[in-house]
Amino acid sequence: MSVSTTIHSVGLLREQPIHPGQRWVYSAGFNVASGMTDTSRIDCELDDLRYLADRGARVAILSHQGSHRDGTAVHLSGTAEYLGKRLGRPVTYIPENASDDAVTAARSLADGQVALFGNTRLHSGEEDNDPVLAAQFARLGDYAAIGGFSKAHRRHASNVGILRHLPGWAASSLIDETRRLEPWAGRSPKTPSIAAVGGVKSEKSVVGLPCFARDYDIVVPGGIVLNHVLHHLGYAIGSSPLGNDVERRAAATKAALANPRARIHVPRRVVIARADRHGWHEAHTVSVSEGVPTGFSIVDFHLHPWLIQELRRVAACGGRLIIAGTPSLHTHGFTQASSALLDAARTPTVNAMLLGGDTVAELPFDGATSTGGGSALCYLDQADVVVLDALRRNNGLTMRSRRAL
């Protein structure tokens, strides 16, 4: 499925005439870590927010940061301040989003005014796509613009549930991200390709590993993905974490390793260290055959000579290289695997991309990136994401709304 097929029947915000006084809910993905060191998840929505506000729309933004499930959801007042500076207009911060007071505040917005409402993930129902919560969000406007590619693979109340109640259009950021991913999607028999998949999140194992084993010539597991590979092959991994969703990760790992065309790099030597509250200590290299002792975790690994040769071949042939998740604990100084992959990615002849907010924040790279790691993996695997499917299903409501304008 190509981008043109994926966005077929999806209404595009930029093709919608905007009139003064229209009330819009803008679903964004401003999940930016404190310190605002990487604001790309905010910056990608600025043009469409200006498009609405400059034409007199009244814009109520719904976004998130952190998660209700692990207690990391926080208020977004700092994000509102940053938005105001970038948009060149005041952005009101309204801490609530699902109350009568929030509705009153939304209805009180002036033409062209932009307001950021409270963190949607302060509600437990946001990540569960609670229909009651979605209906409450929908009271903030009459039309919905859906951005936030970083959560486009999630069925949340603020991006999928709200489309049961409001006609919706895709923001440019959503479409731009799918177009950006096209060169790395699917098999490319005439072009050598290598994918490194690491980090800690479940989708790296559940979606990324089987997808790349199917579509790429070589897959280089790192992080928790590597821990699962070694564990499945019967090697002792000591105290190396297996993360959450262990059974699904294990099943996906088994399937990827069983793929007859998959060439998966399994290191012979790994770097291990012991962690305490002061950091990592006693780092040294062991062979995977001797195993990782209890109390130690895998923090890095050595690349096989054949993989180093393949990286050179990708550079010589102008091949594809994708890094989805940090392969090693790079920010803690364990940089052997990640540096070797980054050196290849920086070669001008290589078509390289980094996927995921953590990956982009942790690894020094100036090339192509996508901060929507999970969404990007789902798109590369299925050529679609659930939000685009919801927008296509919403098309009838959208068409009726167009005729009414």
- Say whether both 41 and 87 belong to one domain: yes
Name the token pair of 293: 């002792």
- Say whether both 377 and 324 belong to one domain: yes
- Say whether both 121 and 236 belong to one domain: no
- Say whether both 18 and 160 belong to one domain: yes
Rounded Cα distance, 314 and 307, in Å: 10
- Say whether both 195 and 271 belong to one domain: yes
Which of 232, 306, 297 shows the shortest CA–CA distance to 271?
Answer: 297
Which of 171, 176, 181 shows the shortest CA–CA distance to 45?
Answer: 171
Q: Across the beta sheet with 320-324, what order do the strands follow? A: 218-221, 193-197, 320-324, 351-355, 368-370
Q: Collect all residues with Cβ–Cβ distance below 8 Å to 88 and sequence separation of at least 6.
A: none
Question: Is this model's pTM higher than 0.75 or not?
Answer: yes
Cβ contact 297:241 at 8 Å: yes
- Say whether both 225 and 372 belong to one domain: yes
- Say whether both 173 and 224 belong to one domain: no
In the chain, the number of structural domains is 2
- Structural domain range at position 280: 186-382
Cβ contact 116:140 at 8 Å: no
- Say whether both 202 and 145 belong to one domain: no
Name the token pair of 154: 């999630």
Can you give the pLDDT at residue 286?
Answer: 98
- Say whether both 280 and 323 belong to one domain: yes
Can you give the pLDDT at residue 7?
Answer: 66
- Say whether both 163 and 309 belong to one domain: no
pLDDT-flagged residues of the chain (< 70) = 1-8, 33-37, 66, 73, 396, 398-405
Three-state SS sequence of the chain: CCHHHHCCCCCEHHHCCCCCCCEEEEECCCCCCCCCCCCHHHHCCHHHHHHHHHCCCEEEEECCCCCCCCCCCCCCHHHHHHHHHHHCCCEEEECCCCCHHHHHHHHCCCCCCEEEECCHHHCCCCCCCCHHHHHHHHCCCCEEEECCHHHCCCCCCCCCHHHHCCCEEECHHHHHHHHHHHHHCCCCCCCCEEEEECCCCHHHHHHHHHHHHHHCCEEEECHHHHHHHHHHCCCCECCCCCCCCHHHHHHHHHHHHHCCCCCECCCCEEEEEEEECCEEEEEEEEECCCCECCCCEEEEECCCHHHHHHHHHHHHHCCEEEEECCCCCHHHCCCHHHHHHHHHHCCCCCEEEEECHHHHHHCCCCCEEECCHHHHHHHHHHCCCHHHHHHHHCHHHHHHHHHHC
The dihedrals phi and psi of 271, each to the nearest 5 degrees, come to -95, 130
Rounded Cα distance, 105 and 102, in Å: 5
Rounded Cα distance, 185 and 211, in Å: 10
CATH code assigned at 337: 3.40.50.1260
Can you give the pLDDT at residue 40?
Answer: 86
Instruction: Give me the sign of the Cα torsion angle 288, 290, 291, 297.
Output: negative
- Say whether both 267 and 144 belong to one domain: no
Can you give the pLDDT at residue 129?
Answer: 96
- Say whether both 122 and 232 belong to one domain: no
Rounded Cα distance, 377 and 373, in Å: 6
